[in-house]
Amino acid sequence: MAGRLFIVSNRVTVPSGRATAGGLAVGVQASLRDKGGVWFGWSGELVDSPADRQFRVIERAKATYALLDLTEDEYVGYYGGMANRTLWPLFHHRIDLTSFEHHWHQTYRDVSQLFAQKLMELLEPDDRVWVQDFHLIPLGSELRRLGFGGRIGFFLHIPFPPAQLFMTMPWHRELGLDLMAYDAVAFQVQTDRDHFVDYARRELGAQQLEGDWLRIGSHSLEVDACPIGIDVREVERLTASAEARRQYETIRETLTERSLIIGVDRLDYSKGIPERLRAYQTLLAKFPQHRRKTVFLQVSAPSREDLPEYRDMRRSIERLAGHIIGRFGEADWIPLRYLNRTHSRRTLAGYYRAARVGLVTPLRDGLNLVAEEYVVAQDAEDPGVLVLSRFAGAAAILSGALIVNPYDVCGVATAIDQALTMKQSERQERHRQLMDAVRANDIQAWRKRCLAALEGAAVP
């Protein structure tokens, strides 16, 4: 009989009874609801010293939640430093914002060692471990060093950069070998998988085998592309909820027959929010027929506010939003509404339902589940149109969207005009295509594919 499934991530979300955002949290909860298991990670609590650290285990329904405290110094070096100021910008192709600090890297590895030590207190030989995301790349190597012989898989939720970009990091070889230590590694889309395979062959001397397999020395691993999806039925329930309906009615009343364009993102430089605002500004300038007839709602949840580049970005976005309102606004029409706070998923579902255009235009994104949630929230009889960045992983599967280059503000403006003027029959056909793709690549498909690889298959 197969052992338990251990899912490991930077942060653990213990169910609270209310819908919470976050693709990783939604995906992990779906996996645990199906067959149970253990979700292991940081508790979110910071302590003064290792002696104050607590390790708590909480049982909820089928699942177990194992929560580990970190010290302030660990958090600063591992999360604030290496994860968010080295790996995050580098993997999103922002070398200009990337910092390489050796003490961050050491703390990053120390935290993976700590996680591995605590995991070993819980693991049995036939258990399986599924590590999530860039915060914990070395964890598989650390578990092997401590003697764990069970199968270990890894899923990267963000993009993987081209080899030449990855190699700018002083510790690229160490992290590359850490990834090669897993039994199964999965990326969001084929491009990211290909970047890793190219790097592994060129820099690590890995041998490419038949199918999706690589070999380094005597160790073989399966490398796949497997986009994470959403729980379609859950989003449908959220959209049908009383809160979503109330938000839908409220926003429709305030629009007074105007068309709503919506953008929803975490406040992050990878999301292309300034470029998106400039595209809307270009729409109003280049297509004046949409003045007074549209409202753009940009919802940006605060993120990493302790980092200076994020504070600077927030101020620049607020200035740009004010400029657009000042230039085009009239006494009875405010063209742009900018909300910088977190909203519930039910509230967002109501906003999505009301929007004629969903504007999802990141400069670089592993996948982007907002695009899929927008699609599911639509009225199939009178759906809105998804305008989607070609640099979002979702573009590989959502071909029914209007695909744009987010750096081309004139091109995005033209796509918004196309979406606003699109006939109902074309909107319906595009929505059918999008729904088929979302259902075929939902959270269950992601879970089954990744866990099938984790279970192991014959090596070529």
pLDDT digits (tens, 9 = 90+) for 237-277: 999 999 999 999 999 999 989 999 999 999 999 999 999 99
Q: Which of 133, 212, 224, 365 is catalytic?
A: 365
Mean pLDDT of the 374-392 span = 98
- Which pLDDT belongs to residue 303? 84
Helix axes 242-255, 345-354, angle to 10 degrees: 40
From the list 105, 157, 172, 290, the catalytic residue is 157
More confident residue, 34 or 43: 43
- Least confident range of 106-110, 271-275, 305-309, 441-445: 305-309
Instruction: Note the pLDDT of residue 1.
Output: 47
Q: Is the pLDDT of residue 16 over 80?
A: no
pLDDT score for 33: 72
For 282, 389, 410, 415, 421, the CA distances from 287, given in Å and listed in that order, are 8, 21, 11, 11, 12
Q: Region 114-118: what's the mean pLDDT?
A: 98
259 token code pair: 């068309």
pLDDT at residue 286, rounded to an integer: 98
Residue-level pLDDT at 14: 84
- Residue 244 half-sphere exposure toward CB, CA atoms < 13 A: 21
CA–CA separation, 282 vs 414, rounded Å? 9
Q: Are the C-beta atoms of 385 and 359 separated by less than 8 Å?
A: no
pTM score of the predicted model: 0.94
The DSSP code for 206 is: P
Give yes or no for residue 459 having a pLDDT over 60.
Answer: no
- pLDDT tens by residue, 283-297: 999 999 999 999 999
Query: Would residue 365 show up in a list of annotated catalytic residues for this protein?
Result: yes
Do residues 104 and 81 touch, judged by C-beta distance below 8 A? yes
3-state secondary structure (DSSP) of residue 454: helix
pLDDT over 70 (residue 279)? yes
What's the CA gap between 46 and 262, in Å, rounded? 36
- Told to judge if 436 belongs to the known catalytic residues of this protein, a careful annotator would answer no
Mean pLDDT of the chain: 94
- Which pair of structure tokens corresponds to residue 210? 């038949």
The torsion region of residue 38 among left (phi > 0), alpha (psi -120 to 50) and beta comes to: beta
- Scored b (16 or more CB within 10 A) or e, 229-249 reads bbbbebbeebbebeebeebbe
